[in-house]
A = this chain, B = another copy of it.
Amino acid sequence: MSFTRARSYHHGDLRAELLQRAEATLRESGVDGLSLRQLARDIGVSHAAPTRHFRDKQALLDAIAVAGFERLGDSFENLTSTGSFTEPMRAMARTYLRFATDNAELLALMFARRYSPVAGDAMSRAVDRAFATPIALIAAAQDRGEIIPGDPRRIALTAVAALQGLATFLGSGLVVAEDADAWLDETVAHLMLGLRPR
């Protein structure tokens, strides 16, 4: 059955397979290498079939971005906020930067600010969940007096922004990839201790 399913008239789970295949193509060939027609050809379906599941190409890209934020949220899941704050903070930073370097094309898509208005709902849910762990981390450290007071969301997002920028610089080659770990440590140290001498 499952052998012939791909050749039957109705595919069965075309939406899921389109998404999965699109993510693979994105990783291998970048956004520019992603075409709806090629995708349909790869799966063995007519070029017009994807329209049923994604109204246009942007809708597919939006769905990939949502899946990306969900995966980012998953990768934060086993972070703990116990112990001295520096360690959870460094673990979060490593997780984010690892996701960023392992999924460079995907990350660019996630922050490409091209979402269709329609995508907003599922998108913002996934985004909120992805950043929930860093925010909770900051809040827990504040309770222990290890972090200055202030809105934990704002503090968390400025911290993650520093990592996001570092990921961008790494991706562009402005910072050489081999030194990524050293840059990561330095970024965390600067964030925690500041640039002004103590």
A interface residue numbers (CB < 8 A to B): 30, 32, 104, 108, 110-115, 127, 145-148, 150, 154-155, 157-166, 168-169, 171-175, 183, 186-187, 190-198
Contact = CB atoms under 8 A, between A and B. Distances in A.
A171 B174 CA distance: 21
Contacts of A166: 158, 161, 165
Contacts of A192: 194-196
A190 to B, nearest CB: 6
Contact of A191 (B108, B146, B195): B195
B197 A148 contact: yes
A51 B197 CA distance: 54
Contacts of A164: 164-165, 168-169
* Copies assembled: 2
B154 A195 contact: no
A190 B155 contact: yes
A147 B191 CA distance: 14
8 contacts: A113-B171, A145-B197, A158-B190, A159-B195, A160-B165, A165-B165, A165-B166, A191-B194
A171 B104 CA distance: 18
Nearest to A191: B195
A157 B169 contact: yes
A197 B149 CA distance: 9
Contacts of A195: 147-148, 155, 159, 191-192
